[in-house]
Amino acid sequence: MARNLNEAVLVVGHRGMVGSAIVRRLSDLGYQNILTLGRENVDLLDQKAVRAYFDTHQVSQVYLAAARVGGIHANNTYPADFIYDNLMIQANVIEAAHRAGVQKLLFLGSSCIYPKLAEQPMKEEALLTGTLESTNEPYAIAKIAGIKLCESYNRQHGRDYRSVMPTNLYGPHDNYHPDNSHVIPALLRRFHDAVEQSVEEVSIWGSGKPMREFLHVDDMAAASVHVMELDGEVYKANTQPMLSHINVGTGIDCTIRELAETIAKVTGFKGTLSFDASKPDGTARKLMDVSRLESMGWKASIELEDGLRDAYQWFVVNRLEVRG
């Protein structure tokens, strides 16, 4: 698709980790008319308010990055909030965009859409082939609904609404809440505090054996813009009407123990690591098959340790203001 740097591009959820990275990426590419929409502007759970925004703004493209997110603890504690809020945000934005005549939209999902026992690495075709991981099932179901919303608007209304499914993300503007954050920000904060307080041991949830794949959010933003800008025929040639989402990841994973050891190195922690096997591990392995995206001309470029150093540097600078 030819790039038009003057068209109005709306990023929904621009204050979040992914949304802010997409704004940075668009700015770096020279886009001149970047619109932003978050809950401080419009209550995304309010259908009328979202429709009113689209009715009063001329939007050409939408990046739908707004979502309620959190780690295992948050998903277990607030399942109703996770499924309701995400379903409503997605439905309100996608329907309002369609009603306003917006032809191009990119929906950001999550790798948790795949079955708990999906063959590794997980291919796009694994969607809806098995039981989901119970700890984040409500969130996963909402994200699956988002994919199907996009596919349905494409089939019924001829829209070009695309979906990308990122692996575990980290980077600037992450959520560092001690209870509700994902594993990387939680560990970065815990190790940082341990160094500052001269703590000799850091305890980590689970056995340390599960394997996870991690993608820096700047790589995610670059992939998102790449997929949005793909020529329509190229995108269709690599997807199907009922299987239109694209995996985004590095194609490389590590154990939680290895991740913790790398974070200890990045933060300067010299003490002992302990693992609390009484806490849930979640899925044993989650690795994305990224061959489809690579065939479309994009591959991740930020190595894990380099990305962790970048994330930690951002946290140190902004730790008094970060979420959590």
Burial of 281 (0-12, 13-18, 19+ CB in 10 A): middle
18 annotated ligand binder: yes
Per-residue pLDDT tens over the stretch 284-319? 888 999 999 999 999 999 999 999 999 999 999 998
- Which pLDDT does position 45 carry in this prediction? 96
pLDDT at 190: 94
Residue 268 lies in a domain: no
Distant-in-sequence, close-in-space partners of 245: CB < 8 Å, separation ≥ 6: 109, 113, 124, 127, 147, 162, 163, 164, 165, 239
| 68 within domain boundaries | yes
What percentage of the chain has pLDDT greater than the value 70? Answer: 98
CB 211 within 8 A of CB 254: yes
> Above 70 in pLDDT, residue 324?
no
**234-265 residue pLDDT tens:** 888 888 888 889 999 999 999 999 999 999 99
Q: Please, what is the average pLDDT of the chain?
A: 93
Out of 4-13, 72-81, 151-160, 197-206, least confident range: 72-81
CA–CA distance from 135 to each of 24, 73, 77, 111, 132 (Å)? 32, 8, 10, 14, 9
Please report, for the domain that includes residue 247, its CATH number: 3.40.50.720
Question: Is pLDDT larger for residue 105 or for residue 74?
Answer: 105
User: Within a domain: residue 229?
Assistant: yes
Q: Confirm or deny that 281 is annotated as ligand binding.
A: yes
Check the annotation: does 232 bind a ligand: no
Q: Is 14 annotated as ligand-binding? A: yes
Residue 165 lies in a domain: yes
Write out the residue range of the structural domain in which residue 152 sits. Answer: 9-173+213-251+286-302
Number of domains in the chain: 1
The confidence score (pLDDT) of residue 78 equals: 86
Does residue 13 sit within a domain? yes
Distance of alpha carbon 32 from the chain centroid: 25
pTM for the whole thing? 0.93
Does residue 143 form part of some domain? yes
Q: Produce one character per residue of 112-127: b if its CB has 16 or more CB atoms within 10 Å, e if not.
A: bbbbbebebbbbbebb
Catalytic residue of the set 31, 53, 139, 235: 139
Query: 74 in a domain, yes or no?
Result: yes
The answer to whether residue 60 sits within a structural domain is yes
Q: Would you say 203 is a known binding-site residue? A: no
Task: Quick: pLDDT tens for 56-81.
Answer: 999 999 999 999 887 777 778 889 99
* Vertex 89 angle, CA 218 and 230, to 5°: 45
Supply the pLDDT for residue 52: 97
For the question of residue 170 being annotated catalytic, the response is no
